[in-house]
Structure 1
């Protein structure tokens, strides 16, 4: 049985302390051991599969960077599919097998399938991204192979009301969402943007746009970058209450009952849901 401590909600501000950063080292299949920039991890695990999330940055003093802070990196995301969000700086990413190029600026969301080799040309003087890396054991026969880039500041027409069934409370309506990614290399791997607020659907929404939602993450672990607004998360079993604001990271465990309160007038988040089992 999972303990209360193991079910504790993960959280981080967008500015981890200096001592929390360390060199990013990994084994690149074609090139061997690599060191590039600095990373920090706020979510070291989930309830299934291999799930990690945190920040990565580079600049003039970062390992492997040029004196002006620019950086060239070959990276194939060998540890799993990566969802990355550019927070500061800009870069050009090239798919080495095809020559396809993508321009990354603040707000860009990069979906990088495991094993697809990219060359990153990071521009001076500084670059910072949020990342979620996921790998599972249940291989998806229709695994994606293409790199995609969108921007979370876009306002697509395909917003849809979020309807789901909460095991203890029954059918719920909680805000609106759209999908960025609906499948990965392994297991369940979904990502998208969600919003709530005045005039947006919700089973328990106040006139000022505040929305309260019971939630146990029935689809899997959820890893969140809060884009706008403020949120309170109340953990039902422990009674612990944590407040988050735009820029913060939140990690929810599948099966842990919480009450999610999005404060009015508006809240928006980027979410990644993962589970070591293919969607039914």
Structure 2
């Protein structure tokens, strides 16, 4: 009997269909209750290791927990694991309750919350939409994480602050593919970090017209991507499946599966979350 392959490329549309949205319910053991707040549309239900979930989360009038004007307050301890949210629409104030730090966030803000950190979302209304990734595994890093961390998809330092992405692929050897910035280097368990990556005209790994093509197996772990700018074609070389992505789409690449990643010029930029059960060396 054939066993269905667990790891695969997942694709998520920038605008999930209406029937894809469900009430977002989760257990809050530290608060002694089950919480239901907003709605979620899952596009990545699992990874090749650990407990990985990704999709969209939104809050609006008529959604569970929301006020009639779409505003509301969400209290959580991130019990599912380390969480990261990219704000796509709307605004909120996010507070780490123990640390006492508060941040105003809006479109392009990236909110990182470690597992177990009690925090509050004060949502302004009438609408909030986010890209969301949750990660946890049974291999703690021992990192002392007790505060939220805010970044931005517009974190574009001067050109000399981007790092050329040079890496070894099992089949291709050493490759050069664009540039990256690490935003959040370590989480509560396993390998967990976030980054921005770009390629295009004048960037290492990009052709003269800004396009690029590379074989890739995501050797550091599962990769969950929000495509920020440009267009990408992906071929899953193990299944022959092909995918077309544009800015705003979600992409999930399983660790160890060989894909061919082709960007269309003149420029492509992505936000990436890498997760894996083994600790980063």
TM-score tier (shorter)? over 0.9
Any stretches of 5+ residues in structure 2 without a counterpart? none
Please say if residues 193 and 268 of structure 1, whose CA atoms lie closer than 8 Å, have aligned partners that are also in contact: yes
Partner residue of 1:180 out of 179, 183, 188? 183
Aligned to 2:89: 88
Instruction: Report the Cα offset of residue 217 of structure 1.
Output: 0.7
Any stretches of 5+ residues in structure 1 without a counterpart? none
* Partner SS state of residue 31, structure 2: coil
TM-score normalized by the length of structure 2: 0.96
Aligned to 1:191: 194
* Partner SS state of residue 57, structure 2: strand
Instruction: Report the Cα offset of residue 8 of structure 1.
Output: 2.6
Aligned to 1:270: 271
CA change 1:274–1:126 in 2 (3 A) is same
Count matched residues: 277
Instruction: Report the Cα offset of residue 142 of structure 1.
Output: 2.0
Residues 84-123 of structure 1 correspond to what in structure 2 (within 5 A)?
A: 84-123=85-124
Distance in 1, matches of 2:32 and 2:56, equals 23
Distance in 2, matches of 1:48 and 1:54, equals 18
Instruction: Report the Cα offset of residue 76 of structure 1.
Output: 1.3
Distance in 2, matches of 1:276 and 1:52, equals 14
Aligned to 2:12: 12
- Alpha-carbon deviations, 1:108-163, whole Å to 9, x = none? 00110000001110011100111000001111022432211011112123211001
Distance in 1, matches of 2:6 and 2:99, equals 43
Please say if residues 193 and 270 of structure 1, whose CA atoms lie closer than 8 Å, have aligned partners that are also in contact: yes
* Partner SS state of residue 19, structure 1: helix
Residues 37-56 of structure 1 correspond to what in structure 2 (within 5 A)?
A: 37-56=38-57
Please say if residues 80 and 133 of structure 1, whose CA atoms lie closer than 8 Å, have aligned partners that are also in contact: yes
After TM superposition, which residue ranges in structure 1, 4 or more long, deviate above 6 angstroms? none
Output the aligned Cα RMSD.
1.3
